[in-house]
């Protein structure tokens, strides 16, 4: 629960830091002395709360520069102008002790790691939907919340964590992904990026078209025998068609259908028949592509360009 009066927020002594920072208060914002102070995305001071996009600054020390309220609990500052930045506040930086969230407590394993803002006087372990508070310096377990020896979490605000010398990245920073890559999100939790296996109709680790082509290339039914007669074949049944020996009873043909074919698909037709008959390879759209000579073992490799089959290679033994 957020503060309804000021509090004495314990601060570690002997710190070499920029001690006070003057900030402009967000319009109509009310902050109690001892509250956690952040700046929002517009650069104005707000009290700490369970929200993303806040940058921790310190603890509210005085209402106005050079004013002396003595840190009296119950004192607060409130903007009544309704204009961002009109009211000025002093924010004390350093290492402070905040309350530890009961249901999501900061634990010993969080030492020198980032904890997160739960409200204006409480920090917690989990960052989902919250902003980073600073790094954990010490955890006290005493039941006395009002003194330096009371229970709470000592948090360094505005300093690099020794565990992360490159600085702390705001938990609101996003890892954006575009399908089929998934698993993105903000940095308030661990993220695992993944990409599904492709199917012949949905992209994944490769395009759907590439997956279809690969499946055909490595199909268990890779070789299909042709029979005597004028026949039509399609890429979906095989990628290699074989005309066995002593098959043809006359001049015959094989027509390649466009059904199911995509750009890059290939079909190989091998003639083992050496009877005195020709065997013509045809394109359903454009007619004859290659006439396999009679009495010879020969082959033709055809490729689809997205609209029709064309002859890519051929040979005669």
> pLDDT at residue 15 above 60?
no
Q: Give the dihedral sign, CA 115/118/120/122.
A: negative
Q: In sequence order, what are the residues at sequence separation of 6 or more whose Cβ sits closer than 8 angstroms to the Cβ of residue 85?
A: 24, 25, 44
Banded model confidence at residue 220, pLDDT cuts 50, 70, 90? very low
> pLDDT at residue 166 above 50?
no
Our CA angle for 245, 225, 279, nearest 5°, is: 60
The secondary structure element, H or E, covering residue 212 is: helix 208-217
Q: Give the dihedral sign, CA 149/16/133/44.
A: positive
Token pair listed for 15: 């710190």
**60 in Cβ contact with 37 (< 8 Å):** yes
Q: What is the DSSP letter of 181?
A: -
Banded model confidence at residue 301, pLDDT cuts 50, 70, 90? very high
E-strand ranges in 42-102 read 45-47, 55-62, 76-78, 88-92, 94-100
In this predicted structure, what is the pLDDT of residue 169?
67
> pLDDT at residue 242 above 50?
yes
Q: Which of 62-71, 92-101, 169-178, 216-225 has the lowest mean pLDDT?
A: 62-71
pLDDT digits (tens, 9 = 90+) for 117-138: 999 999 999 999 999 999 999 9
The secondary structure element, H or E, covering residue 138 is: strand 132-140
pLDDT digits (tens, 9 = 90+) for 247-270: 899 999 999 998 888 888 888 999
Mean pLDDT of 183-205: 78
Banded model confidence at residue 164, pLDDT cuts 50, 70, 90? very low
> pLDDT at residue 221 above 60?
no
Q: Which of 32-41, 62-71, 104-113, 265-274 has the lowest mean pLDDT?
A: 62-71
**100 in Cβ contact with 123 (< 8 Å):** yes
In this predicted structure, what is the pLDDT of residue 65?
45
E-strand ranges in 215-308 read 223-225, 231-233, 240-243, 252-256, 266-271, 279-283, 287-292, 298-304
Mean pLDDT of 149-174: 68
* DSSP-based helix, strand, coil % in the chain, nearest 5: 5, 35, 60
Q: In sequence order, what are the residues at sequence separation of 6 or more whose Cβ sits closer than 8 angstroms to the Cβ of residue 303?
A: 264, 265, 266, 309, 310, 312
């Amino acid at each position: 629960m957020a503060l309804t009066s000021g509090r004495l927020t314990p601060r570690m002594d002997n710190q070499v830091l920029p001690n006070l920072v003057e900030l402009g208060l967000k319009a109509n914002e009310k902050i109690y002395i001892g509250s956690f102070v952040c700046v929002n995305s517009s650069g104005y001071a707000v009290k700490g709360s369970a929200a993303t996009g806040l940058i921790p600054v310190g603890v509210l020390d005085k209402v106005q520069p050079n004013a002396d309220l003595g840190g009296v609990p119950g004192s607060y500052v409130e903007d009544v102008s309704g204009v961002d930045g009109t009211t000025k506040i002093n924010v004390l930086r350093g290492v402070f002790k905040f309350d530890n969230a009961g249901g999501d407590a900061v634990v010993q394993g969080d030492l020198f790691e980032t904890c997160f803002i739960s409200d204006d006087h409480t920090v917690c372990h989990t960052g989902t939907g919250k902003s980073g508070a600073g790094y954990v310096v010490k955890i006290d377990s005493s039941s006395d919340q009002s003194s330096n020896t009371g229970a709470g979490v000592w948090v360094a605000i505005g300093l690099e964590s020794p565990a992360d010398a490159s600085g702390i990245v705001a938990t609101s920073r996003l890892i954006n992904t575009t399908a089929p890559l998934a698993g993105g999100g903000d940095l308030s939790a661990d993220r695992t990026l993944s990409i599904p296996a492709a199917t012949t109709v949905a992209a994944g680790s490769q395009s759907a078209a590439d997956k279809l082509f690969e499946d055909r290339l490595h199909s268990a039914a890779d070789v299909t025998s042709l029979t005597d007669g004028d026949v039509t074949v399609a890429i979906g049944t095989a990628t290699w068609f074989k005309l066995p020996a002593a098959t043809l009873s006359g001049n015959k043909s094989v027509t390649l259908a466009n059904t199911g074919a995509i750009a890059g698909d290939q079909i190989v037709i091998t003639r083992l028949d050496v009877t005195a008959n020709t065997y013509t390879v045809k394109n359903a759209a454009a007619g004859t592509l290659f006439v396999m000579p009679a009495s010879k073992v020969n082959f033709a490799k055809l490729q689809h360009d997205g609209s029709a089959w064309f002859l890519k290679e051929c040979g005669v033994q």
